[in-house]
A and B are shown apart, each in its own frame.
Chain A
Amino acid sequence: MEYTAKKKSSVFGRLLSYLKHYLFFFIVSLFLTVITVVCTLLVPVFSGQAIDYIISSGNVDFNMVFQMLLKIAIAIICGVLSQYFTGCINNVITFKIVKDLRNEVFEKLHELPVSYIDSMATGEMISRCITDIEQISDGLFMGFSQIFNGVLTIICTIIFMLMINPVITLFVVILTPASFMLTKFIASKTHEMFVKQSSSRGDLTALTDEALENMKLIYAFDHKEESRSEFDKKNAVLAEHSLKATFYSSLVNPSTRLIYSTLYAIVTIAGGFTVIGGAMTVGNLSAFLGYTNQYSKPFNEITGTITEFQNALASASRVFEILDAPGTEDPSALPCDKSSIKGNVSIKDVYFSYNPEVPLIKNFSLEVKSGQRIAIVGPTGCGKTTMINLLMRFYDADSGTISIDGKPINEMSHIELRSHYGMVLQDIWLKTGTIRENIAYGVPNATDEQIRNAAKSAYISDYIDRLPDGYDTVITEGGGNLSLGQKQLLCIARVMLADPPMLILDEATSSVDSMTEIRISKAFDKLMTGRTSFVVAHRLSTIVNSDVILVMNNGSIVEQGTHEELLAKKGFYYNIYQSQFAH
């Protein structure tokens, strides 16, 4: 993406606005930086002056030397303290802002409509919240203080040098940008080689990933030799490109060193002439040489930080993109009526599409009475989850109304609507945490007994009791200690405990062992008793026992009715039934 200068400055301005809570710290930090820079630069001046009092044998003014050394010592102490505290204060500012930004992104995450989150890859979201914000802290705030320090050092150095001798200063000021330009020149020349290197590295990585992931297949087909020779070819190309990129980029250091050693020599010669001419002392020359040595440092640092700074701005605009994403989940602050409901659902003339050009649900109406079971069936990818999205208002219908006990759901707050439903999805989601925490997810203040009862109703309590840590067993990220089926039972227990009047269930298609399968279906049946349930169904018994079957294909509802009605129709449902269930 290209960032225009205008956009850049607005991103930068916005980032600065995060500073305003820490303005005091920031001003202190700037003030301390000035002290640090001045103290650091005074040391060569004072030591130069000391040298001027150490002329030759018998010609040493110890009193003045001592005074100068005292001055150096004071400069060091002030410099050290201010440098240390600048560092600490900058850390506070940076990490606080990072924290603020991250919390803001997290807040936003839960305000955004599900459609936005669905449209963005998980990895992308994570990298914006974690890596990009990290980059902002590294590049921007740390970078800002470094650049400030660097620029200040350069300006002060020039002033100090001008005070000693303007002519020699001119040499330094003119020659330094040369090294700067040389670095840039080499960087631009090597850029192309780095592009080649990263493309051939990507090529090799793709090959390696593919081969390693499928090494067993390579083994089974005895395809070793072929894959090796392909690897060798790509490895050789990478080596060639890497060599060029590494070598040419490694020329930067010796080249800048060459420029500085030349500069150093010129300053020495010119300084020597000036001292002989009487316009400068030997101590001045020593201070000059000290400055020439140090002068390159801020330039190198600024070059480095500017790249980081650019990256940080790009990162920031990616983060702001999330923060500025339009639409919120629950714009109106509707009152939350938590009174109990019967569970009559009425769907009237609903139209919906994810993309206006592809209408999905057209003119859909359905009356569901309290306690009825609605099965949603259809081939994989037919859009069964669309129904879940509409009922839970993860997405809003384009037109038409869905009401619960006569009250349209878009006149309810999300909290109210969702408290009526219990949901078990096919994509099992458990938190990293104990089994207890997971079962009590919807009811954080549940008692142990309630948790245990919920587990019992979900046929998972025996298994939990057998675990060494019982209900305190920690479910890790991958959930390696629990099988897929057991995890689904935990999800069921979670809903059992919340005890909602209505249900949305997605039966798992993934195969689990037969014992667990039986448990899951028993648990589902128990859960559905007496509750209005919408089930994305895969099992025949669930489908046949439903009050209404919605048959979906390509995202839209193609048929609706009872099992018998639909079979008699000999339409799409009949075909699915024949191919999937009646062999």
Chain B
Amino acid sequence: MKTKSLWHYLSSRKKETVLAPLFKMLEACFELFIPLLVADIIDTGIKSGDTGYIVRRGILMIFFGILGFTLAVIAQYFSAKCAIGVSSDLRRDLFYHISELNYKNLDEAGLSSLITGMTSDINQVQNGVNWALRLFLRSPFIVFGAAIMASTISPAASVIFWITIAVLIFIIVLIMKLSMPLTAKVQKQLETVTRSFKENITGVRVVRAFNSQPSEKRAFNTNQDELYRRQIKVGKISSALNPLTFAVINAAIIFILWTGAINVDTGVLSQGQIIALINYMSQILVELIKFANIVLIVSKAMACFKRVKNILSIEPVLANGAKKIDASSAIDIKLENVSFAFDKKGGNALENISFHISKGTHAGIIGATGSGKTTLINLIARFYERSCGSILINDIPIEDYDIASLTSHISLVPQKSVLFRGTLRENLKWGNSEASDEECFDALKDSCAYDFIMEKGNGLDLYVAQSGSNFSGGQRQRLAIARALMKKSGLLILDDSYSALDYATESHIKNSVFNHRDNCTVLTVSQRVSSIYNSDIIIVLDNGSVAGIGKHSELIKTCPVYNEICLSQNFNEEAN
């Protein structure tokens, strides 16, 4: 997908993008006329004592004000509409794009950068576009417009305007350039202070157990002193902005008055025109400071847009095949010398894995945390692409399949049981959007969730809070199993899905899973021997490699890793 530039988003609302700054400029024009009108009143009205003229010009000033107001309101409307349209489109595109990404993309991008992208980055872009449309043209227009108007009064006087503008720009840029890196340093030190404070809260027991409050206080004070030093340093620079610009503008006014005096004396300028020149000078400063702020806002917005664009330019890396999976039968899985690494730098997370799980088998995968169990099932579902070796699904290479068809034929109970905000029915229908209430209840019964759901009342309309936080861990796990059971598929993967359940519930669920699903291959991943010991085939993983494959009775004799796991869990087959 080709990523769009910010211009693309703006050009899809051409009318607003053009009209907003245009109306703003028109408004500025009327503002620029005011000093001329005042000069006119002084030079013509007052000098000749013509009160009627003064009133007429004064009313014209008010009329210009009203006109400017109307134009500004229109411009504000267009710019708000444009900015919000852009952010709304951008947000939609980004969300759609993220939902296209696969596991590897998501890992690489990182959750926090995706969330920042969707929220604060896009808000900044919206803000930037809004201000840019309103003021990016207006401010320079007034600044340069004032200089140009000044030159219509007196070409000679306008030179001082251009010099003043240049000097002011120089001062503003210089102070920003000097203070920005220092501000960043203040920010950094503030983070250190925050971290130090946070550590003392989370570790309050340890700090007190070791009686190290005094040394912690000393460390905190040192951090604070450094923060203070940096704040003062940046303050010394940024405090100079206002006095310096004030000095420059007023120095220019002195100059205008002096040259003005000479020009009036020789009859080149009038008294009113000098007043107009001074008024133009005062207009410049306000707008230049505004402009400097706009530059900051816009450059921040551009940086944010760039981050958003980086996410938009992530290409989903998996190649999609064309084959549809045979939906009528269980899935046969064969791995040959499969290895996998999350990234090129790190070592292999899985090393040279080979095994065969035939149609309808109940297979167990066991191993310690970090041994690669979840990674292995992620390869089988093609959530990740193996680095080398081959994975055959029903004897056809996995990459020949259409990914959607493959996914739709696999039911997954993930390790972390999350539910989504909404009703229970909506959550269950994730597995099968056409399911009837009847089917929902069946799945709930199979996963031992029916009783506690009925106790809560509301049946399938039961409210589910974000992440399913209104259910206990064990209840969530059973609902996640129910959700997966809703999906009629040829492969059911249970990734450590019994960890929060007691033994009786676990065995009940296992029975219903096995009894009701003869046309299905089942993969059970666990750290607990009791969850998998009676599988048809057990794959023992240790540090990313296969340590043994076989039945429980064989492995306990032949596989030392398996034997050790059984011993460490005091596993005793007879007791079960």
Interface, chain A (partner B; CB < 8 A): 40, 43, 47, 50-51, 53-60, 62, 65-66, 68-69, 72-73, 76-77, 79-81, 83-84, 87-88, 91-92, 95-96, 99, 102-103, 106-107, 109-110, 114, 117, 122, 125-126, 129-130, 205-224, 226-228, 231-232, 235-236, 238-239, 242-243, 246-247, 250-251, 253-255, 257-258, 261-262, 264-266, 268-269, 272-273, 275-276, 282, 285-286, 289-290, 293, 329, 392, 394, 414-415, 418-419, 421-423, 425, 427, 429, 431-432, 441-442, 444, 477, 494, 498, 511-514, 540, 579, 581-583
Contact = CB atoms under 8 A, between A and B. Distances in A.
B313 interface: no
A582 B246 contact: no
A298 to B, nearest CB: 14
A212 to B, nearest CB: 5
B4 interface: no
A212 B203 CA distance: 31
B404 to A, nearest CB: 6
B278 A47 contact: yes
Closest 6 CB pairs of A and B: A87-B239, A261-B65, A57-B267, A254-B72, A91-B235, A269-B58
Given A265-B61, A444-B215, A91 B73 contact: no
B353 to A, nearest CB: 19
A167 to B, nearest CB: 16
B266 interface: yes
A243 B38 contact: no
Interface in B274-332: 274-275, 278-279, 282
B232 A103 contact: no
B51 A65 contact: no
B103 A216 contact: yes
Contacts of A258: 65-66, 68-69
B144 interface: no
Contact of B69 (A91, A254, A425, A513): A254
A239 B88 contact: yes
B36 interface: no
A289 B101 contact: no
Nearest to B265: A60
Interface string B80-119: 1101110110011001101111110010000100110011
A50 B251 CA distance: 14
Interface residues of B, number: 154
A214 B68 contact: no
15 contacts: A51-B275, A65-B261, A81-B243, A106-B217, A122-B202, A214-B420, A221-B407, A264-B34, A264-B65, A282-B46, A392-B208, A394-B205, A427-B202, A429-B202, A583-B569
Contacts of B193: 102, 130
Contacts of A285: 42, 275
Contacts of B77: 247
B124 to A, nearest CB: 14
Nearest to B37: A268
B151 interface: no
Nearest to A252: B76
A265 B102 CA distance: 64
B520 interface: no
Given A84-B239, A289-B279, A96 B228 contact: yes
Nearest to B542: A514
B350 to A, nearest CB: 16
B220 A54 contact: no
Interface string B406-439: 0110101010001011000000001101000000
B236 interface: yes
A212 B253 contact: no
A47 B257 contact: yes
B95 A228 contact: yes
B370 A246 contact: no
A394 B65 contact: no
Max chain A Cβ within 10 angstroms of own Cβ: one of B51, B213, B217, B565: B213
B571 interface: yes
Contact of A95 (B205, B216, B232): B232
Given A95-B235, A214-B418, A268-B38, 19 more contacts: A60-B265, A76-B247, A83-B246, A88-B235, A91-B231, A208-B95, A210-B421, A212-B115, A220-B381, A221-B430, A239-B84, A264-B61, A272-B54, A293-B282, A414-B208, A418-B208, A444-B212, A581-B570, A583-B571
B76 A76 contact: no
B99 A218 contact: yes
Contacts of B228: 95-96, 99
Contacts of B470: none
B533 to A, nearest CB: 9
B68 A58 contact: no
Contacts of B81: 243, 247
B208 A114 contact: yes
B340 to A, nearest CB: 16
Given A92-B232, A250-B76, A444-B215, A80 B246 contact: yes
Contacts, number: 383
Contacts of A214: 418, 420
Nearest to A114: B204
B95 A231 contact: yes
Nearest to B467: A210
Contacts of A219: 99, 101-103, 383, 407
Interface string B36-54: 0110011001100101001
A76 B130 contact: no
Contacts of B502: 579
B431 A441 contact: no
Contact of B88 (A55, A235, A394, A421): A235
A289 B77 CA distance: 31
B224 A99 contact: yes
Contacts of B111: 212-213
Contacts of A268: 37-38, 41, 54, 57-58, 61
B508 interface: no
B341 interface: no
A207 B530 CA distance: 38
Contacts of A103: 220-221, 224
A429 B210 CA distance: 12
Contacts of B477: none
Given A268-B38, A268-B61, A276-B46, A425 B205 contact: yes
B570 A91 contact: no
B62 A261 contact: yes
B254 A290 contact: no
Contacts of B265: 54, 57-60, 62
Nearest to A266: B58
Interface string B524-539: 0001011000000000
B503 interface: yes
A218 B503 CA distance: 30
Contacts of B258: 65-66, 69
A393 B235 CA distance: 46
B274 A54 contact: yes
Nearest to A58: B265
B206 interface: yes
Contact of B261 (A62, A72, A84): A62
A457 B194 CA distance: 34
A209 B118 CA distance: 9
Contact of A222 (B62, B407, B576): B407
Given A99-B224, A110-B217, A117-B204, A54 B260 contact: yes
A76 B251 contact: yes
A268 B54 CA distance: 8
Contacts of A273: 51, 54
A513 B368 contact: yes
A419 B220 CA distance: 23
B152 interface: no
B209 interface: yes
Nearest to A254: B72
A583 B119 contact: no
A210 B111 CA distance: 11
B77 to A, nearest CB: 6
B211 interface: yes
